[in-house]
Amino acid sequence: MKEVVISGIGAYVPSNIVTNEDLSAIVDTSDEWILDRTGIKERRISTGEDTSNIATKAAILAIERSGVQKEDLELIIVATITPDMCTPSVACMVQKELGAKGATAFDINAACSGFIYAIQIAESMMKIHGFKNALIIGAETLSKIIDWKDRGTCVLFGDGGGAVVLTESNTKGIINTFSKSDGSKYESLVAAAFDVENPYALNVVKRNNKVQMKGGEVFKFATAAIVEAVKEVLLNTDCNLEDVKYIVPHQANLRIIDYAAKKLNVDKEKFYVNLDRFGNTSSASIPIALNEMYEKGMLKAKDKIVLVGFGGGLTFGSVLIEWK
Ligand code: ACO
């Protein structure tokens, strides 16, 4: 069975920067509170681009860098909780924009773990069905599901997208993957999809389609999830935590990352953090961070890297990769 490597990476964020100061003009908050509780200084908020636009821009860069021709993409998966439409999928919209006619395209929803789940699915499909090239995107316009009157949530999130091209190879790239969900706690983080309204419904049910979060519960879950996911993905591999050069976590909150570093007994410097500039971009945060590391020249051949996601569902997961 062939191996799967990351052959290209790209990201795109809207140019509009919204600072903590800007937010303190619309809700009762302050730069000091947000920075102290989350580590976030600013985030990018779309001024009109939808998820498919952001996803396409990230994808174009990843494809260019991969050297793969768009016609040779056989699989496109977009992880998102903020699609443009119920149908078609964002993946099909991206497929049209790219002209990647030969691909199977679909979206998945695993919230902030979406990019990790999508890599796991793609790797399996590539190995089982023989797909040679896959495009994996995490993209969000969370700004459209944020309650801009709720200071407890609107300060946390941002918009953006990141993408990788996965390519069949004779050398190892994706070494191991891990995923797990706990649906019993789904109410900790919700944003409803539709109102219930049809001629047969007994009552019209108006649902709140903005993000509602029990911050404390999510915090507790997230810290435990990072620790479990990092340990699990290293199990039954030749690699231990000391061999891992970087951990790229979902960028939700600096305090979550600091806490997990302590629990894992690893240097905080091993965790790559850029949430200060982008906030929590859900499924996009890991590829945006990985792309930034790539552009800074931090990623060297043979580096072992753990990607770790956690979020709504509740879901969590991890990927152990060796950089090519
Ligand atoms: N500015 C000022 N005050 C605020 C703000 C704000 N933006 N938000 C909340 N407060 C107030 C609250 O109203 C509360 O006031 P009160 O004591 O008078 O009632 C006080 O601050 C404390 O509120 P808490 O919610 O207890 O604050 P906490 O220290 O728990 O921090 C936070 C809140 C940052 C959301 C924290 O719970 C957290 O980080 N949770 C994890 C959430 C997260 O990262 N979610 C995303 C991960 S999952 C995913 O990515 C999908």
Domain positions in the chain are 3-172, 175-323
Residue 211 has pLDDT above 80, yes or no: yes
Three-class DSSP category at 316: strand
- Judge whether 283 and 117 are in contact, CB under 8 Å: no
- Rg (C-alpha) for the chain, rounded Å, is 19
Ligand 1 centroid – CA 152 distance (Å): 5
In CATH terms, is domain 175-323 a member of 3.40.720.10? Answer: no
Residue 238 has pLDDT above 80, yes or no: yes
| pLDDT score, position 108 | 98
Task: Give the residue, by CA position, lying nearest to ligand 1 atom 11.
Answer: 152
Nearest-atom number in ligand 1 for the CA of 155 is 7
The number of helix segments (H) and strand segments (E) in the chain equals 10, 13
- Amino acid occupying residue 170: N
| pLDDT score, position 167 | 98
Q: Does the C-beta of 38 come closer than 6 Å to ligand 1? A: yes
Q: Does the C-beta of 253 come closer than 6 Å to ligand 1? A: yes
Residue 119 has pLDDT above 90, yes or no: yes
Query: Which residue in the block uniquely carries the two structure tokens 């021709």?
Result: 69
Query: Which residue in the block uniquely carries the two structure tokens 């993209």?
Result: 139
Mean per-residue pLDDT, 31-50: 98
Q: What is the pLDDT of residues 44-84, one digit of tens each?
A: 999 999 999 999 999 999 999 999 999 999 999 999 999 99
Mean per-residue pLDDT, 18-40: 98
In CATH terms, is domain 3-172 a member of 3.40.50.10860? Answer: no
| pLDDT score, position 286 | 98
Q: Does the C-beta of 113 come closer than 6 Å to ligand 1? A: no
> Using CB atoms within 10 A of its CB, is residue 192 exposed (0-12), middle (13-18) or buried (19+)?
middle
Q: Does the C-beta of 106 come closer than 6 Å to ligand 1? A: no
| Separation of alpha carbons 147 and 172, rounded Å | 43
| pLDDT score, position 1 | 67
Q: What is the pLDDT of residues 276-289, one digit of tens each?
A: 999 999 999 999 99
Task: Give the residue, by CA position, lying nearest to ligand 1 atom 36.
Answer: 215
Task: Give the residue, by CA position, lying nearest to ligand 1 atom 44.
Answer: 252
Q: Given this chain, do its domains 3-172 and 175-323 carry the same CATH topology?
A: yes
Active site residues per annotation: 112, 250, 280
Mean per-residue pLDDT, 220-241: 97
